[in-house]
Structure 1
Amino acid sequence: MANTMIGVIGGSGIYQIDGLQDARWQRVETPWGAPSDEILTGTLNGVPMAFLPRHGRGHVHAPGTIPYRANIDALKRLGVSDVIALSACGSFREEMAPGDFVIVDQFIDRTVGRDSSFFGTGCVAHVGLAHPVCARLGTACAEAAEAAGARVHRGGTYLAMEGAQFSTLAESHMYRTAWGADVIGMTNMPEAKLAREAELCYASVAMITDYDSWHPDHGEVDVTRILATLTGNADKGRDVVRRLPALLSDARAPCQHGCDRALDFAILTAPEARDPELVARLDAVAGRVL
């Protein structure tokens, strides 16, 4: 049995978590560079927690330049077991309205040019990603969001676009109708892939701010309108975080979905052929199997 440590990655509008005991911001060094910011650590209702603002305090990182590998490595290095990602998103569904929360369970990755794996030449690995979200964590997030007063949709497909521009009208219609996506954002990929490679349970809470550009009554995305919705979503998002410790046990058995054992049979490179330099960089992410 291992102790639970909750890692929260805060998206647009969420740069601080209140109420942590013994809270302190600390710099974490990783072999993949510096994370988006220092990480706020402490305990919440007796459960260890680490908070990382994905874009950095002051929102300094664009979606395409976020150091995703460093972020996930840093959380794993601190002892995080469960990662909750909070993200602002657009909606492709009439019933998923601005202000609603969607507990994402699938992804379509349309990002390009981002470092999407810890592994590569000298140490090749392929993890399973058919179910990229930990159902146990997703259920806890849904219960916390409902208790926080949010209108919650359990399940939805998140389309990760490159950005930083919003969708064209043609793209918005294609993602909604031909591809069947439910929400759209710019940051959960490759984050979810990297969390799986690091054997971390991962769940995504999409906080809807707009209808992207497909909705005939709302027109193109309006940043002013988004910011107004973002404020309310951020308050509920922080409330969700405050409720999570009561829903996640202090001591946890192995993940019933296998998230914490994703690397058991994933590494293909023979031990004698592995690049020592890359293996050294994988000390936190894959130390259990290397």
Structure 2
Amino acid sequence: MLAKIAFIGTGGTIASIGTDQFDLLDYNASQQRLDAAALIERIAIQGTIADISPVNFRQIDSTAITSGDWADLADLCCQLADDSSLCGIVIGHGTASLEETAWVLSLVLDLKIPVILTGSMRPLTGISTDAHANLAAAIRVAIAPTTGPGVFVVINDEIHDPKTVTKTHTLRLGAFQSPWAAPIGYVDGTEVRFRQVSKRRNETFARDLLREMPRVDISYSHVGADGCAIQSFVAASAKGIVSAGFGPGMATPAETAALHDAVNAGVIVVQSSRTGAGLVVDTAHHQSLGIIAGGDINPQKARILLSLCLAAGYSHGDIAEVFHSL
């Protein structure tokens, strides 16, 4: 008997239909996306690796996903996990925000089965599409006895931790990488091999908080940045600001002054880095200004974590400890 998994379709490139096989760039113009059942049928994967239960969610571009969608998706995963015959859940997702959805789910789900997110860099109808291979690999990881509970990203025959994975190229099939951390495992044909165990999160947030996430903005540092964007975020009632700073985590002097003013106005400020990898230095200067060091997660994931902390009512000290413990 084949293992049983649920496949949730959310749209994205993996479900997109282009005008022809050479339409690899502007396929979204057609606005044609297959739902979960149609995608499984099109790929003809039902009954070959697993017994797949298609579950339709929303057929949207992943740039349009909201925190409300995240909440609904998390609730759906929990409902599906109540089925004791289910070995795992696979989610087909657009690559634009796949890493953020994976990170969110890793922070709010505590299930006994694995949840695997996958997508494709080329549309389903594109020449040499990676949709088929990525979906097959994700299913293999979902049913592998070595996988265990947790949230994983599986793409291009690699298994990644949601904390470290990020999209590093607009087009290439190997766009998803874990800079300086590397994949935690690989899918080679029918074999699923883990080289390290994905660490469980120290913090698990209530799913309902996804419906109450306050405004948190990201300020991107560049030469000559004057802090105007930061002032605008404060004026727009942001409860938190993530500074995507230079190198080890530093903004311009004008931005730093604006961030200090934001802290004095009651806004929680987290310093991240625009480099995409590496630990942000928790400097004595930032500590004196009340700016929290963002650890080694990228700005877009720091924004999510900060927003969840704020929704949970965490204090400044609590939030600093969460980022420090990552």
TM-score with structure 2 length normalisation? 0.28
Structure number with bigger Rg: 2
Name the structure with the higher helix share: 2
TM-score by length of 1: 0.31
Q: Which has the higher contact order (CA 8 A, sep 6+)?
A: 1
